[in-house]
Amino acid sequence: MDMQILFWTTGVSFVIALLLGPLFIPFLRRLKFGQAIRAEGPQGHQKKAGTPTMGGVIFLVAMAITAIKFSDLSSELWLLLFVTLAYGAVGFMDDYIKVALKRNLGLKARQKLIGQILVGVVLYVVMYYTGMIDMTISIPFINAQWDLGFFYLPFLVLIVIASSNAVNLTDGLDGLAAGTTAIAFGSYAVLAWWTSNMDVAIFCAAMVGGLIGFLVFNVHPAKVFMGDTGSLALGGALATVAILTKTEIWLVLIGGVFVVEVLSVIIQVISFQTFGKRLFKMSPLHHHFELLGWSEWRVVGTFWTAGLCLAVSALVLYLK
């Protein structure tokens, strides 16, 4: 019966997103909330200028409505909704500054980081004072627990910030971030169901349905982009799911595509600053493959496949 609820949750969220798209996308066009394309990116992306952004609202609304409808409204669900929508709000402000105020870089890096840290700290405080916090982390494969004590606070905040920024970096091609996060949330829906975290599983299922519905409008050629509104929210949500299910380390494997994208940026910066050479043609990594001549569909399909393999591998290893 529980699994049946997850299927219903996914389906209803998908339908809501599918219905919202044709209503919300023309609204964004009327407001002239079109994406500005940075000149230093791949030149082929310049034709995407003006595509409506902030489309993350579509799957966030679909997810929230469906999760509230099908869940038991537990503390875990409210925490997930809080972090997701709070990070979405930070992203929304960033997008709004870019498209409405015509400041292409959006929020200053310091402003965005402060917002991300504050949400992470609030998450920790609420979990601490409601007795939901567990200062230990599980070490995969050796069945060990590591008690971090007070240091769990910076660890928690770091995970949420790193995850949100990793998904944000991955959101560079049509359908790339939406597809890879849908796969990750699908994996977590099964994992949470297996460990009887039903409201967490329902949240993940609702996110999967919303993202698949959004992909109808976001696959190449995209009719709408999720913007930071969507990408920051997705990353924050993934991290919070990992925290609530005590699978913080497993997130590295389940979200392996996002980890690789971040590492490609870090490696590129270190290589250039140390040796004066770029290891990749462009970072994040998906741009490197684009500049090698791969079509956008091929890059996205390859990354989706990699994400699926990693997520399935994590599930098999975790559940065995």
SS3 27: helix
Per-residue buried b or exposed e for 186-224, using 16+ beta carbons within 10 Å of the residue's own CB = bbbbbbbbeeebbbbbbbbbbbbbbbbbbbebbbeebbb
Across the chain, mean pLDDT equals 92
DSSP assignment string, 105-145: T-S-HHHHHHHHHHHHHHHHHHHHHTT----EEEETTTTEE
Domain presence at residue 155? yes
pTM: 0.94
- Cis upstream peptide for 140 (omega within 30°): no
Residue 6 lies inside a defined structural domain of this protein: yes
Query: Position of tokens 């979990």?
Result: 127
Structural domain span for residue 240: 2-245
Binding residues: 168, 228
**233 and 87 in contact (C-beta within 8 Å)?**
yes
Is residue 184 assigned to a domain?
A: yes
Residue 292 lies in a domain: no
Name the binding residues for Mg(2+). Answer: 168, 228
Number of structural domains in the chain = 1
Q: How far apart are CA 296 and CA 306, in angstroms?
A: 15
- Does 25 map to a domain? yes
* Greater pLDDT, 313 or 37: 313
- Residues 279-303: tens digit of each pLDDT: 999 999 999 999 999 999 999 999 9
Does 266 map to a domain? no
CA gap 58, 113 in Å, rounded = 25
Structure tokens at 12: 């209803």
pLDDT at 101: 75
More confident residue, 163 or 46: 163
Q: What is the pLDDT of residue 108?
A: 85
Specify whether the CB–CB gap between 217 and 55 falls below 8 A: yes
Q: Is residue 53 part of a domain?
A: yes
Residue 14: inside a domain: yes
Residue 37 pLDDT level (bands cut at 50, 70, 90): low
Torsions phi, psi of 145, nearest 5? -115, 140
> Alpha-carbon distance 105 to 119, whole Å?
22
